[in-house]
Amino acid sequence: MPELTAWKCSGCGANVDEAPVAQAGVHHCRFCGAVVVATQKVAAHYAVRVDSVPSNAIALVLPMIVKELHARVDMKALLKDGAVVWEGQDAKRADEILQRLLGAGARATVISVGGPAAPVHAKKIPDPLVIGCGRLFESRVEIRRSTDDAVLAAADAEGKVELSVPTGGAPLDACVVIDVEGVITRIRFNHPLRASRALQDPISTLLGAYPPKLQLYEMMAVKAGTQRVKGKGMISLRALDGESGAEVAGVRFTVDRASTRIVYTNDDYRVAMDRDTTGSGGWACIFNAEPGDIELGAEDWPTVRARVHADEILDVTFWK
């Protein structure tokens, strides 16, 4: 027998919490007087749906879907149109899965069917937060707090590395420092991190490893009509879409030093002296920047205050 748990008016549609008044054996709505009927209880059912996965989060999200949720979904279809990756009647489990997917960088929602509304929570910041680097040369990788340069996590790696950084549930204001045979690359973001990140430099495809060697910047400097000057720094600027992780074309970077020139690249990452905005690779660079504090911007996105170091590469990523 189905469990009859509520009275519903067939006239006004109201849910009557207590038993309605019976008149001549017929139950009537106390709001409008129409006949009311008992309704069958429907078990709550929840579905967790991944709506999209930014390219920089694929390495974290897909293994979770396959190995932990054991979801049998077409990955190509999921990346293109999204898909349901979990179903069940446990609201707490649904919310837990949702928060883990959001923390890994996916765009996901909980759908509630036949039961109480799906739990709605503000996106939680994962603790710890994971920062991954791929296609590394033999390197020393460190996560440093932006305010005082304190090392929060570190590892010696070659190929791939993932570092976990405690957050206490708060946004992580940090930079990534990669040391490849004494060549330092500092990766800065234009806002504190609220989700895990998988880092990859767009021009690493030219070299097969990340970060790009200093020789590549020296070669590009020559193409730009200059040469790298010892004792000065080099700056890599990237513009990425926060939803998809894809490079953004048509972005104009800014710098607070009047005499500093920004050199943009074409879609194939080759120096293009006639460009004043990014190509489809979303990348530009500054050669021979004077050491010291600098402010960098990109359109109306949050600006970045950073420090240029002598003979180091400063990599600044702008997430829209």
- Per-residue pLDDT of 249-258, as tens digits, reads 899 999 998 7
Taking alpha carbons only, the member of 165, 173, 113, 179 closest to residue 146 is: 173
So what's the pLDDT on residue 254?
Answer: 92
Q: Are residues 52 and 150 in the same domain?
A: no
Q: Could you tell me if residue 32 is inside a domain?
A: yes
Query: What mean pLDDT, rounded, does the chain reach?
Result: 76
* Token digits of residue 16: 């009557």
Residues 54 and 34 in one domain: no
pLDDT of 154-170, one tens digit each? Answer: 998 777 788 899 988 88
pLDDT at residue number 306 = 87
Return phi, psi of residue 252, to 5°: -105, 120
Q: Which residue has the higher pLDDT, 162 or 17?
A: 162
Claim to verify: residue 273 and residue 149 sit in the same structural domain: yes
Residues 32 and 168 in one domain: no
Model confidence at 288: pLDDT above 80: yes
Burial of residue 15 (number of CB atoms within 10 Å: 0-12, 13-18, 19+): exposed
Max Cα separation, the chain? 99
Q: How does DSSP classify residue 72?
A: -
Q: Return the number of other C-beta atoms located less than 10 Å from residue 172's C-beta.
A: 25
Q: Do 271 and 137 fall into the same domain?
A: yes
- DSSP labels for 2-51? --EEEEEETTT--EESSPPEEETTEEE-TTT--BEEEEE----EEEEEEE
Is residue 214 in a domain? yes
Q: Are residues 60 and 179 in the same domain?
A: no
Paired strand residues for 15: 8
- Overall domain count for the chain: 3
Do residue 57 and residue 99 come from a single domain? yes
CATH number (domain holding residue 157): 2.60.40.10
CA atoms in the 13 A half-sphere facing the CB of 55: 11
Which of 8-17, 192-201, 222-231 shows the lowest per-residue confidence on average (mean pLDDT)? 8-17
What integer pLDDT is reported at residue 34 of this predicted model? 61
| 26 and 104 fall within a common domain | no
* Distance spanning both ends of the chain, measured CA to CA: 55
Q: What is the mean pLDDT of residues 259-279?
A: 85
Same domain, residue pair 243 and 298: yes
Residue 56: predicted pLDDT = 67
CATH of the domain at 59: 3.30.1390.10
pLDDT of residue 207: 42
Percent of all residues in the chain with a pLDDT value above 90, rounded to a whole number? 10
* 205 vs 103, residue with greater confidence: 103
- The boundaries of the domain holding residue 60 are 45-113
58-109 confidence digits (pLDDT tens): 877 888 888 888 888 888 778 877 888 888 878 788 888 888 888 777 888 8
